[in-house]
Structure 1
Amino acid sequence: MFPKISLITFSLVAVALGQQIGTNQAETHPKLTWQTCTGTGSCQANSNGAVVLDANWRWTHNVGGFTNCYTGNTWDNTLCPDGETCATNCAVDGADYAGTYGITTSGNALTLKFVTFAQQKNIGSRVYLMADDTHYESFQLLNKEFTFDVDLSQLPCGINGALYFSEMDADGGVSRFPANKAGAKYGTGYCDSQCPRDIKFINGVANSEGWVPSPSDPNAGTGNTGSCCNEMDVWEANSVSAAFTPHPCSVDGQTSCTGEDCAIQSRFDGLCDPDGCDFNSFRMGVQDFYGKGMTVDTSSKFTVVTQFVTNNNSTSGTLSEIRRIYVQNGRVIQNSKVNIPGMQPFDSVTTDFCTSQKTTFGDTNSFQQHGGLANMSKAMAKGMVLVMSIWDDHAAQMLWLDSDYPIGADATKPGVARGTCAQSSGDPVTVEGQTPNAQVVFSNIRFGSIGSTFTA
């Protein structure tokens, strides 16, 4: 994802809330059916599918007790004098998915609510698709097609309903890092192209050392260590704007970082490409394609198809193009074409598109510097984990998705305008206060050979 995500982390008040989702709270993964397709009309249901909540949202407390290891946005210095001791002393707990986090499933549909009011307020969530109770589903995407339905009619400016792939370990990291006892069952092992340093446990060790509480987010902070990996943003969107974006890294698989490898001082000095090569129809000059009442009408549900085309049209090839198709009300809608002076009418993500975009917009070509589609291809061949989330943005207020960005830039300059939202619209306090009932619904997930998951 483009900015560094401000993850919401819980600290539950001792015994009272511990009884709600404490050590007696069993971890039961909500079921979510999805389909594998081999040809049009030939799809088989994966009825054993389920989702798991990311570990960063969970209550972290002393082993066998109810004392918080993490309260608000700070660690307990007694339980956590250093990262290894903290990991020995502290545990993550089971989750009340619906009651505390606003996460529900029904058949093939997953609903993620933005704000949930229980005994305390929860903001957003992030979940992963499971293969079984202790492993994430791993998707090998080369020369394949990934399709889902989405309803984001209740998702306004400043909020992101995201669906993407991360090069995480399928077991959550337990085989590589024996100190990690929780594993995929409890949503561990997250990484992305921002090399996020707000992850509470990385490689089985608490990220408590050097932890600095966030000045704007009462639940988050950053430690000395980040967690990096290749990321394919299939869908970052609200009802106003949408983008799909590959983010390559120069490392293979989930990799921890410290210092400038995490791009602390300079955005482009890290192990991964933070900006990616994005295709946002509005940013690419077509301002009437996506939105309420437009060609892709976000006031109702629609289907998103993404095709990962290789140079030899086989699963053994190298990723050469990422194509997008929409289906709504029985009508197949081809992706919009670039309408920017000086650029060809591209309608997909290719190396030529990315190079042309970076040159025309005057952006640093960090995408190619980190290996471009070739490095993304390696991650897809190995397998990537499906992530679905809803979140607001304490780092850049989601302006990079749905408004004019960077702040202060001339909105008439190519690449600056990304949507119609006001630059004041993404303030988290405002968004959380004014639109707590926002939600996104992902449903009818299908995966298979190109052309097999939808009807033209």
Structure 2
Amino acid sequence: MHTSVAFVLFSLLTAVCGQQIGTLTTESHPSLTWSKCTTSGGCTVQEGSVVLDANWRWLHSKTGSTNCYTGNTWDTTLCPDPATCAANCALDGADYTGTYGITTAGDALTLKFVTHGPYSTNIGSRVYLMASTTKYQMFMLRNQEFTFDVDVSNLPCGLNGALYFAGMDADGGMAKYPTNKAGAQYGTGYCDSQCPHDIKFINGEANVLNWTPSSNNGNSGTGQYGTCCTEMDVWEANSVSAAYTPHACTVHGQTRCSGSGLYGGVCDKDGCDFNSYRMGNTTFYGRGLAVDTSSKFTVVTQFITVDNTSTGALSEIRRLYVQNGKKAAFGDTNSFESKGGLTGMGTAFSKGMVLVMSLWDDYAENMLWLDSDYPATKSVTTPGVARGTCSPSSGLPASVEANSPGSSVTYSNIKFGDIGTTF
């Protein structure tokens, strides 16, 4: 899952995560209902909520309001080293609607792309589904089905409304790392198969060592460490293209990695992606097509095991779409070997994974890997290069942010349970 954090500062707020708890803004998680479904009992509504990822939050001095991180650099007085920074800096609560453009209504979550708040302009967001005020909801995916409705009609080229599962700790890493005082309540402990190095705190320590500010993003940089875990990209999409991609890792659970060898070695960063346009069916997904992205539709993902039990080995990931009472299917992801393939994915599924929902633009590759021709070094006639109808010049974050600030994505009607019970 490619990610980037962009949070343009005009005053005190800054997009960064921390490990102490601040007291200047009260943290209140927006409520979000979802349903748990069984063959014998039907679907039962579950009372949940969402929490904002720590990397978007204001990090300030524990005893005041001095930024620990401004733009894309650390305050060297408050953060001379990882441990001292964790002791000095506090992670504060979030104004979900006013600052971040995050709203919920019953079973629906809407993420707005650009939000002009009282102190800042925020770009995109990432949230997690909560089981309680201090724990993420954990999903055991083997021999289960996950369904949601999505509206991508307001997502143009260059944007990605992503819904996926990550092998994070339920408490955000508090039990493992005592210096992490904020935990899941404040959105800590993120990891994915890209082993992102832009996460500000990993394993309860600030990622300040060898921090390098980004050359094209004034609000981001990379540190010495990355944070890796298995990732199941159920949904990465806009109104033009969509993909689902399992990414296996050889490590189990959230793991801090250092160095280019480990960064490229423990996880399958490319994954085994399935994009119907890339596979040659150019009339399946898009405005006015079989799956018509001009209106809401239902996405069903089934995680099939060899013996149809929750303990069996994962053998297939099946995708179905439902819209206006009609069902459409396009292909399965049957096998891939890198970093353990479906067997490795199944191991992570049995331990439980956290549901992540986000909206972002791409400072690294302009989202061309999702909705255009990629990589640019290869001919468009090469199989797999054409991934969507967006122009190769599209997706530049500065342009997308300037031209499409009102973009948004809405996820709703989330259901999880036995195969065949959620739609």
Q: CA deviation at 1:330?
A: 1.0
Partner of 2:16: none
Q: CA deviation at 1:409?
A: 1.0
Structure richer in strand, relative to its length: 2
2:9/2:120 contact within 8 Å kept:
no
CA distance, structure 2, for counterparts of residue 168 and residue 270 of structure 1: 19
> What does the per-residue CA deviation read over 1:268-294, in whole Å, with 9 as the maximum and x for residues that have no partner?
x32101000001000000000000000
The percentage of aligned residue pairs carrying the same residue is 63
Partner of 1:13: 11
1:415 and 1:26, CA in 2 relative to 1: closer, same or farther beyond 3 A?
Answer: same
Partner of 2:225: 225
2:144/2:416 contact within 8 Å kept:
yes
CA distance, structure 1, for counterparts of residue 70 and residue 395 of structure 2: 26
Q: CA deviation at 1:424?
A: 1.0
1:148/1:442 contact within 8 Å kept:
yes
Q: CA deviation at 1:64?
A: 2.1
CA distance, structure 2, for counterparts of residue 82 and residue 423 of structure 1: 41
2:104/2:110 contact within 8 Å kept:
yes
Partner of 1:348: 332
Q: CA deviation at 1:334?
A: 1.8
**Equivalent of 1:415 in 363, 384, 389:** 384
1:41 and 1:429, CA in 2 relative to 1: closer, same or farther beyond 3 A?
Answer: farther
The reply on whether 1:430 has 2:399 as its aligned counterpart is yes
Q: CA deviation at 1:120?
A: 1.7
User: Structure 2 unaligned runs (5+)?
Assistant: 14-21
TM-score, length basis structure 1 = 0.89
The reply on whether 1:441 has 2:410 as its aligned counterpart is yes
SS at match of 1:376: helix
1:161/1:236 contact within 8 Å kept:
yes
CA distance, structure 2, for counterparts of residue 406 and residue 218 of structure 1: 25
Q: CA deviation at 1:209?
A: 1.2
Matched positions, count: 417
Alignment of 1:292-371 (within 5 A): 292-335=287-330, 347-351=331-335, 354=336, 368-371=337-340
Structure richer in helix, relative to its length: 1
CA distance, structure 1, for counterparts of residue 313 and residue 72 of structure 2: 43
Higher mean displacement: 155-164 or 404-413: 404-413
The reply on whether 1:112 has 2:111 as its aligned counterpart is yes
Partner of 2:358: 389
Partner of 1:401: 370
CA distance, structure 2, for counterparts of residue 8 and residue 226 of structure 1: 18
Letter in 1 for 2:258: T
The reply on whether 1:81 has 2:80 as its aligned counterpart is yes
**Equivalent of 1:287 in 278, 282, 286:** 282
CA distance, structure 2, for counterparts of residue 146 and residue 110 of structure 1: 16
Q: CA deviation at 1:11?
A: 5.8
1:226/1:262 contact within 8 Å kept:
no
Q: CA deviation at 1:14?
A: 4.1
Partner of 2:157: 157
Letter in 2 for 1:397: N
TM-score, length basis structure 2 = 0.96
Partner of 1:242: 242
1:143/1:307 contact within 8 Å kept:
yes
CA distance, structure 1, for counterparts of residue 240 and residue 250 of structure 2: 33
The reply on whether 1:185 has 2:169 as its aligned counterpart is no
Aligned-CA RMSD value: 1.7
> What does the per-residue CA deviation read over 1:55-86, in whole Å, with 9 as the maximum and x for residues that have no partner?
00000000021000000010000000001100
